[in-house]
Amino acid sequence: MPYENVSRFRWRCIAKPGAALLATLALNGCAWTLITAADATGSVIQAGYAVASNYSSPRFVTGRPVDLPSICIENNPMVTSADFLPSLQLVLAQRGVKSDVYGAGAEPASCQGRLIYNASIEFGRPTFSDESRAYLSTIDMTIFVRNEIAVTARYEVHGLSTDRYSSTAVKLKGLVKSMVVDQTRLGGSLASASSGQ
């Protein structure tokens, strides 16, 4: 009798995976097409998230972009993102705007414009990931010219925002683009105009 239980156990261990394999092989072409289509759809969605994470746009902008070759940035110690200020200065430099950082209340007299900012950090899990990750959920920036507000912009994450986990520089690029005139293009236009082209 004990040998009968052993042989039944072996048969079950072999029969169950064998039946699953047989059922898989028995699927007709239509079922394989559906499985392939579902797999392709998942790949397209994942690729869409990857592309969208490289673009960001501001949610709210008030005012027109200012035409400044340089700007002073007031450091906000409440913003704990270590890459915020370096990213902001990099994005401004890409638009041909020089920037200097100063402490609150220590604005140099030579400042043509003053930029103040605030940002909030939240945590979440990116799609297809099990680990929680920090991301900038809101960014507020205001540029003052001659102590008057010239332009303000706000970025915020809502719902299924595809740029939620984008880099700080990507999020800032969308804001700065809507706030500051591109000096690199302006410089090229002035150079070609002065040379008579």
What is the predicted pLDDT for the residue at 51? Answer: 43
Instruction: Report which of residues 49 and 132 the model is more confident about.
Output: 132
The two three-digit tokens of residue 192, written as one number: 């070609």
Rama region for 96: left / alpha / beta (φ>0; ψ in -120 to 50; rest): left
Residue 46 has pLDDT above 70, yes or no: no
pTM of the full structure: 0.65
Q: Are 143 and 151 in contact (CB under 8 A)?
A: yes
User: Percentage of the chain surpassing pLDDT 90?
Assistant: 32
Look over the chain and give the mean of its residue pLDDT values, rounded to a whole number: 75
**pLDDT by residue (tens digit) across 120-151?**
988 887 777 788 888 888 999 999 998 899 99
The answer to which of 46-50, 97-101, 132-136, 175-179 has the lowest mean pLDDT is 46-50
- Give the pLDDT band of residue 60 (cuts 50, 70, 90): confident
Residue ranges of the alpha helices (H) in the chain? Answer: 2-26, 29-52, 84-94, 168-179, 183-194
Residue 181 has pLDDT above 70, yes or no: yes
What is the fold of 60-187? Double Stranded RNA Binding Domain (3.30.160)
What is the predicted pLDDT for the residue at 183? Answer: 87
In the chain, where the domains are located: 2-52, 60-187
What is the predicted pLDDT for the residue at 32? Answer: 55
Which residue in this structure is represented by tokens 């799609």? 127
**pLDDT by residue (tens digit) across 73-122?**
999 999 988 899 999 999 999 999 999 999 887 888 888 899 999 999 88
Q: From CA 169, how far away is CA 163, in angstroms rounded?
A: 12
Eight-state DSSP code of residue 180: B
What is the predicted pLDDT for the residue at 80? Answer: 85
Residue 23 has pLDDT above 60, yes or no: no
Tell me the C-alpha to C-alpha distance, in Å, between residue 126 and each of 79, 87, 123, 132, 187. 22, 22, 10, 7, 40
Pairing, β 70-74 against β 114-124: parallel
Eight-state DSSP code of residue 110: T
Which residue in this structure is represented by tokens 């809507």? 178
